[in-house]
Structure formats: C-alpha cells, structure tokens
C-alpha cells in the first residue's frame, strides 16, 4: 500500500522567501542566498559557500557584506583612536614631567654646632631640588632621634635629615686627640620610608638625598682641611685617624620601612588592575546569565534590583577570598601589621575594593551595553595613572586620586604588608562611598530601564488593538 508522499526538498526547487530575515539564519547555514531580490520574487541560492574571492567583482551580496563590515569596523576604530588620545594620554601625562612639585623634607639639628649649621645652610640654600626642606626645632622631639623616626613613619614628611647630638664635639675631640675609631657617618642620619612609595624613593628621594649630602660633605671637608692644615699635630692626625681629615662628616641613610617583598608589587599595583578586569568578567557573565535565563523579564523591579546587588556581593566575596589565598600562597607577608588578623583585613579590603570598582561597571552596563569595554579601559587608566608615584609630585589634575578606589586600596595593602601609616578607616570609608554611589546608580538606572520596557509593551498592545 502506497503511503501519501509528503512535500519535501526533493519535489521543489531550492528557494527561499525574501521575507526571511537574515537574523533567523542559524550559525551553520551558509549565508549564500540573495536578499537583494525584489519583494514578491523568490531568492535563489547563490553559488557554493566559501566560493567567493576577496575582491570579486559584480557580486552584489559581497558588496553589501563589505559595506556592512566597514560600517561596523570604521566607527569602532575611530572610537579606539579617541580612547588612545583621550585616555592613554592621561597615563602618559602622569609620568611626563614629574616631579611637578617638590616633596616635603625635614631638617632637625640635634647637634647645635658647626656641623649642624653647615648642614642646615647647605640644605636650605635657594636651589631647585626634588625636596623642599623645612627646619624643625629639635625641641619638638623630646625623646630625640627616635621621635623623629616615629614622625617619619607617621608620614609627617617624605624624608628627614638629623644632625646627631654631639657630632661637632666628636669631630673636634678627634682633631685635638686623634681617635682611630672616629666615624664621620655618625654625624648625619637621613630617614626615608620606601614602602610609602617605592618608585619615588628609589628614583628620586634617595638620589636627591645623596646629591645634597654629598655636596655638603665635600664643602665641609674642603673648608676643614684648610683650617687644620697648620695644626701642630697634623702628622699624628693623618697617621692615627686619617678619616678625620679625609671624611670628617658623612651620613647614613636609614630606610625605616623598606619595600622588602618584591611580590608586593603585584598586590599594590598590577594585581589591582587584574582585579578590575575580573570584575568586568563578572559583570558580563552575570548580565548574559540574566538574559539567557529570562529572569529580568520575570522578576519585579524590587526583586531584580535586590538580585543584582546580592549576586554581585556574593560573587566578589568569593573571588576576593581566592585572590587573598593566592597572595598567601606566594608568601606575601600579610601578617606584618595585624598578626593573624591580617588575612581577614586583607580579604575584606579586597572584597570592598572589588565592589567599589565592579559595582560601577554593574550599574552602567544597561546604559553603555556594547561600549562597556571602553569604560573599563577608562576606569583602569583613571585609577592606575595616580598610583605609580606620590600624588604630591603629580600635576594637580591628578589629585582626584585621593578619592580613587585604586589609590585607597593600595594604601590599605601597604599598611597591612609593610606597616605604613594606619588610615584604614579613611580608606575603607572612601571605598564604601563608591559602593553606595554605584548601588544607588544601579537602582535608578534599572528603574528607568524597567519604565522604558513597560512603555514599549504598552505601545505594542495599543498598536495591536488598532490593527485590523
């Protein structure tokens, strides 16, 4: 018994209605049908897929494809060009002419003698240097040099020079009665804190100190040599204590808080960029998951806002833990300042930082959409530009960094790892303010998006009622 023969591709020619949209073509279908046919005609299959050459002439479909390609690519390249000159220039500008202004330096004369006067005069001479020197009375430090060291750790100044108590008296005693153990480096002690900003300390602070103190040492030695050239015991002095003549005054530089952990570079700079990029991935995948699941169209406005906030907070809480464990695995000493509690402080700081930078992306994705990557680049550059060198030496334009998430998180990490000035309350507060602003922005933007969705649905319903 013959079965009814159904209509199939075997019975009809390969045709495609012109009303078919290219958006309905599956990824596996060859984009080879001719959409340029007039309405009412049938579009026939074009030659075999993958059969066209790059510059094939007379093919309208290929010409249209080229037009679509260039209309997409050229605006994107223009936008990237704008990004290079507008955003990249900001990072280059932060490094272009530094230092634009000097950092603060203290001079404390605990000696009160000839050496102290020579050092004060030498450092305060009207010369343009990287350090702006201020003379501080020694009476402000009741406990002596140790009090000055505490002030440096508390970031009262970037560098300090102490003319040690009795420096002139020891030199005069060694000239009068040659002392074989005389050490000129005991006269002056300079203090710096590398962990505050290792780039500034290594590239500017230490070199500026050495240059200034070397000039003072040379001038003092030359002047002293002319004074003692006629001393009756000069031969004995040169025989027993030649360093008294050759190096009567010198110095030692004490790095109070060295940047002693190379791996900390990742935690205080590069790792912050990586974390920002990770928050971008969280935002992109979270948005894709909401679209794929359809949750955005199911939940009420309040539920959707709460869901977006909760999912972000939980995601960053977990990811910040993995990041903290990574630093622990590579032996970053996060117990230096707070002992065993240092890990929790590090973890919470990382969590709050990820929320501060990530929630900004989360709140703007509904507005920026496919342009979110450009905002990410801008977000990274705006933050990274102010973290290589102290804000004090950058142009005033970059002083916005005091309120930037990148800067404040880096300060927290330096306190945890190296014991720099403890201002955790201030830095955590800045990050929390960023989170609050982003959460409020997210709610407002989501409310507006829902309002527009409801408006669109209403218009479609009204159009459907009016249609016959």
Beta-carbon contacts of 152 under 8 Å, excluding residues fewer than 6 positions away, are 159, 160, 191, 192, 193, 256
Question: Comparing C-alpha atoms, which of 430, 374, 377, 437 is closest to residue 406?
Answer: 430
Question: What topology does CATH give the domain 103-255?
Answer: abc type-2 transporter like fold (3.40.1710)
Higher model confidence: residue 270 or residue 8? 270
Q: Say what the pLDDT of residue 218 is.
A: 95
- List, for residues 299-316, the tens digit of each pLDDT value: 999 999 999 999 999 999
Residues 207-217, mean pLDDT to the nearest whole number: 94
Domain limits of the chain? 10-51+61-79, 103-255, 264-456
Q: How far, in Å, CA of 31 to CA of 210, rounded?
A: 71
Q: Say what the pLDDT of residue 53 is.
A: 79
Residue 4 has pLDDT above 50, yes or no: no
* Percent of the chain scoring above 70 in pLDDT: 89
Q: Say what the pLDDT of residue 54 is.
A: 77
Most confident of the following: 31-35, 37-41, 190-194, 371-375: 190-194
Two tokens, residue 456: 């669109």
Where does the pLDDT of residue 434 fall: very low under 50, low under 70, confident under 90, or very high at 90 and above?
very high
Q: Say what the pLDDT of residue 128 is.
A: 62
Report which secondary-structure segment, H or E, holds 134.
strand 131-135
Question: Comparing C-alpha atoms, which of 388, 357, 361, 355 is closest to residue 374?
Answer: 361
Residue 450 has pLDDT above 70, yes or no: yes
Q: How far, in Å, CA of 120 to CA of 216, rounded?
A: 10
- List, for residues 158-167, the tens digit of each pLDDT value: 999 999 999 9
- pTM as predicted: 0.83
Where does the pLDDT of residue 17 fall: very low under 50, low under 70, confident under 90, or very high at 90 and above?
very low
Residue 460 has pLDDT above 90, yes or no: no
Where does the pLDDT of residue 47 fall: very low under 50, low under 70, confident under 90, or very high at 90 and above?
low
Two tokens, residue 109: 């004369």
């Amino acid at each position: 018994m013959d079965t009814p023969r159904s209509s199939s591709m075997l019975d009809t020619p390969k045709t495609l209605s012109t009303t078919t949209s290219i958006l309905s073509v599956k990824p596996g279908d060859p984009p080879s049908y001719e959409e340029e046919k007039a309405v009412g005609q049938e579009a026939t299959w074009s030659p075999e897929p993958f059969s066209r050459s790059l510059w094939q002439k007379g093919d309208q479909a290929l010409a249209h494809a080229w037009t679509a390609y260039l209309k997409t690519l050229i605006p994107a390249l223009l936008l990237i060009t704008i990004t290079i000159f507008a955003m990249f220039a900001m990072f280059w500008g932060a490094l272009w002419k530094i230092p634009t202004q000097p950092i603060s330096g203290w001079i404390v004369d605990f000696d009160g003698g000839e050496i102290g006067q020579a050092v004060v005069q030498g450092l305060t001479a009207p010369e343009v240097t990287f350090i702006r020197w201020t003379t501080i009375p020694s009476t402000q430090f009741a406990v002596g040099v140790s009090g000055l060291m505490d002030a440096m750790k508390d970031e009262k100044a970037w560098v300090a020079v102490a003319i040690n108590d009795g420096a002139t008296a020891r030199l005069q005693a060694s000239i009068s009665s040659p002392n074989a153990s005389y050490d000129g480096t005991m006269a002056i002690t300079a203090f710096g804190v590398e962990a505050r900003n290792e780039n500034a300390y290594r590239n500017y602070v230490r070199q500026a100190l050495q240059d200034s103190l070397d000039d003072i040492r040379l001038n003092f030695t030359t002047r002293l040599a002319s004074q003692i050239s006629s001393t009756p015991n000069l031969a004995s002095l040169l025989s027993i204590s030649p360093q008294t003549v050759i190096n009567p005054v010198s110095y030692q530089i004490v790095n109070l808080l060295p940047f002693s952990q190379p791996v900390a570079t990742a935690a205080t700079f590069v790792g912050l960029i990586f974390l920002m990029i990770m928050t971008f991935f969280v935002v992109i995948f979270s948005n894709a998951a909401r679209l794929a699941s359809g949750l955005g169209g199911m939940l009420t406005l309040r539920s959707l806002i709460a869901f977006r906030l909760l999912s972000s907070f939980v995601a960053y809480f977990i990811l910040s833990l993995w990041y903290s464990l990574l630093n622990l695995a590579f032996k970053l000493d996060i117990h230096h300042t707070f002992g065993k509690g240092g890990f929790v402080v590090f973890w919470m700081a990382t969590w709050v930082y990820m929320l501060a930078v990530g929630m900004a992306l989360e709140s703007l994705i509904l507005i920026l959409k496919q342009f979110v990557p450009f905002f990410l680049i801008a977000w990274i550059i705006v933050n990274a530009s102010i973290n290589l060198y102290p804000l004090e030496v950058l142009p005033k334009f970059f002083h916005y960094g005091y309120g930037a998430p990148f800067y404040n998180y880096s300060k927290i990490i330096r306190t945890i790892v190296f014991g720099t000035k403890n201002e955790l309350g201030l830095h955590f507060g800045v990050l929390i303010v960023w989170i609050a602003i982003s959460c409020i922005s997210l709610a407002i933007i989501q409310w507006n998006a829902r309002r527009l969705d409801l408006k669109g649905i209403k218009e479609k319903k009204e159009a459907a009622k009016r249609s016959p």
